Chain A
Amino acid sequence: MNKNRYKEIVDKNTPKENCFINGLVAFLVGGSLGALGELLLRCYMMWLNLPRKESGVLVTLTFVAIASILTALGIFDVLVSKVKAALIIPITGFAHSMTSAALEYKHEGLVLGIGANIFKLAGTVILYGVVSVYIFGLIRLLVMGG
């Protein structure tokens, strides 16, 4: 089978996804998560008398915890297949990538499995975050004077 014929078959059998519906679902679910986060932020500020910054951290921690637990129970993957970017882009995606990597490589042992692979996916976020912050931080310090 030559390459063109193969490509034709692949194109024909790749399921067509409706971009508009996907985008709408991502917008609505992602937006709801944002509004829910804001509600939690207000609740934490009121109930625990925390300043705004600390309650913001607590909100992210709540979402991280929920995402990790749902991943371990196998529910998160089902949800991601339905709403995709709406759960990957919020901090839930970061927690999910860690927990799922840890679970997946558990059978290779505690050190070489979980230890070596826990940052497998989340590592890219941290790496490029840190490298870009060094560059942008130096720009701000040297060019803009802080």
Chain B
Amino acid sequence: MTYVYAFLFCGFVCLIAQIILDNTKLTPGHITSLFVVIGAALDVFGIYDKFVLYAGAGALLPITSFGHLLIHGAMDMAHDIGPLGLAFGIFNLTSAGISIALVLSFILAIIFKPKH
């Protein structure tokens, strides 16, 4: 059943983005930024946790989960050491994705030539 929910959730998020992309002048950059903020906002009331529970990886793949992971890392640390934890823990859960993307991009940019 998780597969169906994963399909529906990930597909639905992409559908919303496509509708915004087609009907407004917003660029993909605007939409991804918007979705990250929405993901973080949904997590204030713990709604996104429910999505992750039911849709599994379907909720982890869209960029909304980036906001979700940022606020989770920040709040976990804030529970341990107080409000300063927001600053200490904010990248705790997303650092893997960012660092791998950085290193891979660098290596690939060295090796490959841009295609036009």
Contact = CB atoms under 8 A, between A and B. Distances in A.
A103 B112 contact: yes
A33 B57 CA distance: 9
Contacts of A99: 101, 104-105, 108-109
B83 A141 contact: yes
A118 B103 CA distance: 11
Nearest to A139: B44
Interface in A109-129: 114, 118, 121-122, 124-129
A68 B61 CA distance: 15
Contacts, number: 249
Contact of B108 (A28, A35, A85, A103): A103
B10 A33 contact: yes
B23 A19 contact: yes
B70 to A, nearest CB: 5
Interface residues of B, number: 69
A39 interface: yes
Interface in B13-62: 13-15, 17-19, 21-23, 28-29, 31-33, 35-37, 40-41, 43-44, 55-58, 60-62
Interface residues of A, number: 74
Contact of A106 (B57, B71, B83, B114): B114
7 contacts: A27-B14, A30-B62, A37-B10, A56-B56, A88-B17, A98-B101, A134-B90
Interface of A: 17, 19, 22-23, 25-35, 37-41, 56-57, 59-61, 63-65, 68-69, 71-74, 77, 84-86, 88-91, 93-95, 98-99, 101-104, 106, 114, 118, 121-122, 124-130, 132-134, 136-141, 144, 146
Interface of B: 2-4, 6-15, 17-19, 21-23, 28-29, 31-33, 35-37, 40-41, 43-44, 55-58, 60-63, 65-67, 70-71, 74-75, 78-79, 83, 86, 90, 93, 96-98, 100-102, 104-106, 108-115
